[in-house]
């Protein structure tokens, strides 16, 4: 079974030897999707904007892998502050309306103190 690696231009992927997404057969696993905007080299202070930015990356990764949001079966959301869930939940709902993947949301310290949300997804494309 072939493995396809999908990466961005982030220097951290090279330093830490990881891929932003890995396609293995009918599965894709993507992680490290945050509110960082590479076009502006910035991170919004607004948690909802960060979530929207994370979904820009998720959609790009899925497209590069030959998948779409409708293939997502699981999402894990890491929040720096659980109180931000009220702002981020509608963004999740907007992107996953009618898809309804399994969801785990946890509070965790994120690697960059400006980051309020980080998302990972698992997608499956059945034959």
- Asked whether 116 and 35 are in contact (CB, 8 A), the reply is yes
Per residue in 2-41, pLDDT tens? 888 777 777 776 776 677 789 999 999 999 899 988 888 8
Beta bridge partners of 33: 119
* The pLDDT of residue 85 is above 90: yes
* 106 has pLDDT over 70: yes
CA nearest to 107, candidates 76, 88, 74, 81: 81
The predicted model scores a pTM of 0.91
Terminal Cα distance for the chain, rounded:
14
pLDDT value at residue 34: 92
- CATH class of the structural domain 3-124: alpha beta
Yes or no: say if 107 and 79 are a contact pair by the CB < 8 Å rule.
yes
Domain boundaries, the chain: 3-124
């Amino acid at each position: 079974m072939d493995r396809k690696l999908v990466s961005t231009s982030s220097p951290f992927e090279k330093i830490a030897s990881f891929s932003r997404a890995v396609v293995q057969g009918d599965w894709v696993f993507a992680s490290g999707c945050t509110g960082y905007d590479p076009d502006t080299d910035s991170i919004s202070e607004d948690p909802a904007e960060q979530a929207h930015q994370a979904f820009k990356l998720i959609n790009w990764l899925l497209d590069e892998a030959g998948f779409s949001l409708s293939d997502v079966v699981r999402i894990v959301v890491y929040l720096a502050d659980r109180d931000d869930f009220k702002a981020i939940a509608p963004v999740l709902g907007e992107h996953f309306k009618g898809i309804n993947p399994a969801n785990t949301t946890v509070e965790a310290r994120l690697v960059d103190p400006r980051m309020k949300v980080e998302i990972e997804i698992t997608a499956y494309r059945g034959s």
